[in-house]
């Protein structure tokens, strides 16, 4: 039965049909499973799409108190706020520091907008 539908073993017809079948299965997987995994849960109040740290409605990444520090989940958290851009006291990462460094080096001075810190 498979030989009748796919063609003789090693033939171009068999390879073409197997490739087409594989592409259709991959497309079906992409449409049905990958798209569904990014959907919001019905009834959830979690704010995952606003991209900020401010709780406006529902539940956010860390529901902060007035001080904006998540003491319940991170008791040793140290938070810094950005200084006004364009000033000589503006802050940014310095000396090759990356965002995931445990103890980042912070520099001051006139810096380009793309290197400016917002929250750290």
Co-location of 71 and 102 in the same domain: no
Compute CA distances 6 → 28, 34, 42, whole Å: 21, 29, 44
Co-location of 84 and 120 in the same domain: yes
Structural domain count, the chain: 3
Give the HSE-up count for residue 120: Cα atoms under 13 Å, Cβ half-sphere. Answer: 19
Question: Cα torsion for 61, 62, 66, 71, to the nearest 10°?
Answer: -160
**pLDDT tens digit string along 42-82?**
777 766 666 565 666 666 656 555 555 555 666 666 666 66
Whole-angstrom distance, CA of residue 67 vs CA of residue 77: 12
> How does 5-19 read in b/e, with b if 16+ C-beta sit within 10 Å?
ebbeeeeeebeeeee
| Residue 50, number of CB atoms within 10 A of its CB | 13
Q: Is residue 53 part of a domain?
A: yes
Co-location of 72 and 89 in the same domain: no
Please tell me the predicted confidence (pLDDT) of residue 28: 86
Q: Is residue 42 part of a domain?
A: no
Q: How many percent of the chain have pLDDT more than 70?
A: 42
pTM above 0.85, yes or no: no
Q: Which structural domain range is residue 29 located in?
A: 2-37
Q: Is residue 24 part of a domain?
A: yes
How far does CA 68 lie from the centroid of its chain? 22
Query: Length of the chain, please?
Result: 120
Co-location of 119 and 99 in the same domain: yes
Co-location of 57 and 91 in the same domain: no
């Amino acid at each position: 039965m498979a030989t009748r539908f796919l063609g003789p073993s090693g033939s171009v017809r068999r390879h073409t049909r197997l490739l087409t079948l594989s592409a259709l299965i991959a497309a079906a997987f992409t449409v049905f499973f990958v798209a569904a995994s990014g959907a919001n849960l019905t009834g959830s109040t979690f704010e995952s799409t606003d991209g900020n740290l401010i709780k406006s409605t529902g539940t956010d990444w860390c529901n902060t108190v007035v001080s904006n520090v998540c003491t319940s989940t991170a008791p040793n958290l140290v938070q810094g706020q950005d200084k006004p851009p364009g000033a000589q006291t503006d802050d940014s990462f310095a000396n090759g520091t990356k965002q995931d460094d445990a103890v980042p080096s912070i520099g001051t001075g006139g810096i380009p907008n793309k290197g400016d810190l917002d929250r750290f």
